[in-house]
Copies of this chain bind each other. A is one copy, B any other.
Amino acid sequence: MEKIRTLFEQQVSMSDHDWESFSSKLVKATYTSKGKILNLGEVENYLSFIVSGIIRYYVPGEEQDLTFGFSFENEFASAYDSFLTRNPSSYVLEALGSVQLWRISYEDLQTVYQESTVGNIIGRNAAEGLFLKKSKRELSLLKDSAEERYLKIFSERPEVIREIPLKYIASYIGITPQALSRIRKRIS
C-alpha cells in the first residue's frame, strides 16, 4: 500500500493525517482470469489501484468486442466516466489473468474530497492524468497508421505483446486480427 502513497507524493505532499483519511478507506479485491471487475450497464462504484495483473476495457458487440484500453500494474483503473457521471457503464472491465487491487468506493472518495483539500488535489491530478493519456491517444488515432501504432506499443510496452492475445491488441489499434497478423509478419 506504500506504493500508492509514493505515487501520490510525486504529485503533492500529504500529511500523515491526510494519508490516513484516504488509506483507511482502501479495500483489497482479487479477480481470477476473465473475471468481470465491472459489468456492462453497472454504475462504476470504485476507483482501483492495480497491485498486479492487467485489466482490459471493452465494449461488447454481437460480432466481436471492441477492446479500447488496458491498465497495468501500478496504474489506476476504473470506468472513470461512469464513476464520475453515475451513469451505467457502456463497457466492461475484465481481468486478463489474475488481478489484485486496492480500491476506494465512490462514497468514500467523496468523503475524502470533503475532509481535505489534498483529496481534491489528488482527484484533480487523477483527472488531469487521465485527460493527458486520452489526448495522446486521440492524436495517435488521427495521425499514425495502424502499423505505427503497433510499433509504438511494441517499443513502449514489450510485455504487452507477450501477455495480451493478438486479437485484443488488434482491436485496440483499430484493425482486425487478420490485418495485425499480416503487419506482424511483414515487419518481423
Instruction: Tell me the A residues contacting B by CB distance below 8 Å.
Output: 59, 66, 68, 80-81, 84-85, 113, 117, 120-121, 123-124, 127-128, 130-132, 134-135, 137-139, 141-143, 171, 174
CB pair B134 A68 closer than 8 Å = no
Write out the residue numbers on chain B whose beta carbons fall within 8 Å of the beta carbon of A137: 134, 138
Write out the residue numbers on chain B whose beta carbons fall within 8 Å of the beta carbon of A130: 127, 131
Query: Which residue of chain B lies nearest to A61 when distances are taken between CB atoms in the complex?
Result: B143
Write out the residue numbers on chain B whose beta carbons fall within 8 Å of the beta carbon of A80: 131, 135
**Distance (whole angstroms) from the CB of A31 to the closest CB of chain B:** 23
**Distance (whole angstroms) from the CB of A145 to the closest CB of chain B:** 12
By Cβ-Cβ distance, the 4 closest A-B pairs, closest first, are A134-B134, A127-B127, A120-B120, A124-B124
CB pair B139 A138 closer than 8 Å = no
Q: How far is the CA of A157 from the CA of B170 in the complex (A)?
A: 32
CB pair A68 B138 closer than 8 Å = yes
**Distance (whole angstroms) from the CB of A86 to the closest CB of chain B:** 12
**Distance (whole angstroms) from the CB of A74 to the closest CB of chain B:** 20
Query: Which residue of chain B lies nearest to A85 when distances are taken between CB atoms in the complex?
Result: B132
CB pair A68 B131 closer than 8 Å = no
Write out the residue numbers on chain B whose beta carbons fall within 8 Å of the beta carbon of A85: 132
CB pair A84 B132 closer than 8 Å = yes
Of the residues B59, B117, B142, B171, contact of A68 by C-beta under 8 Å: B142
**Distance (whole angstroms) from the CB of A87 to the closest CB of chain B:** 10
